Structure 1
Amino acid sequence: MIAILTVLVALPLGLLVRNRLAAYLVFAIAFSHVYTFQTADLVMEWVNGSTKAFPATDSNQLVGDTLGYFTFTTMIYAVGFGLVTLGHWLRNRRRAAAEVRLDQPA
């Protein structure tokens, strides 16, 4: 869910929102909202016996390799901020290219 959100939302936010800080804030809020529901869904599946997201342990507690899930989602988060920055850079570059006047002598 968060990977889909990052791909579909981050770059357009950088392109469409003029203020980069506002684009970062909107992305962070959307990411945290989706991250909460994704994590809750994975924990509910883990309680029902699934070991796809979190590895099984002898004591059935969330310990051990949960750092892998945290690392993966943090990397997706960082990529999202990179895409927002790229979108903002492309927006500024396109706007600067549009300001070139052809009727003025070089």
Structure 2
Amino acid sequence: MIAILTVLVALPLGLLIRNRLAAYLAFAIAFGHVYTFQTANLVMEWTNGATAAFPADDSTALLDGTLSYFAVSTAIYAAGFGLVTLGHWLRNRRRTARDEVRLDSHGG
């Protein structure tokens, strides 16, 4: 769920929201909401016996599974901020190129 959110929302937020800090904040809020829901869903599945996200019984393996889940989630979070930054950079680049064309067309 958080990977889908990141792919679908992060770049458009960077493109659509003029203030980069506001775009970061909007992404962080959306990510936090979906991450909480995803984590709760995985824990509920795990308590019912599913071992897709977390290992079954071994306590040290449980810590390893939790750390790997944290690492993957953190990597997705960082990628989302990278996509917001890329969207903001593309927005500024497109606006700057449009302004340069206007200056050149009026100069000659």
TM-score normalised according to structure 1 size: 0.92
Q: Which has the higher helix share?
A: 2
Summarize deviations over 1:6-29 as a string: whole Å, max 9, x none.
011000000000000000000000
1:32 corresponding residue in structure 2: 32
* Over 2 Å off, 4+ runs: 61-65
2:106 corresponding residue in structure 1: 103
| Identical columns (%) | 74
Distance 1:84 1:50 in 2: 34
Distance 2:6 2:12 in 1: 10
CA RMSD between the two structures = 1.4
Q: Which amino acid aligns with 2:4?
A: I
TM-score normalised according to structure 2 size: 0.91
Match of 2:84, SS state, is helix
Distance 1:58 1:71 in 2: 20
2:84 corresponding residue in structure 1: 84
Aligned residue pairs, count: 104
Distance 1:57 1:64 in 2: 12
Summarize deviations over 1:38-96 as a string: whole Å, max 9, x none.
0000000000000000011246x953321000000000000000000000000000000
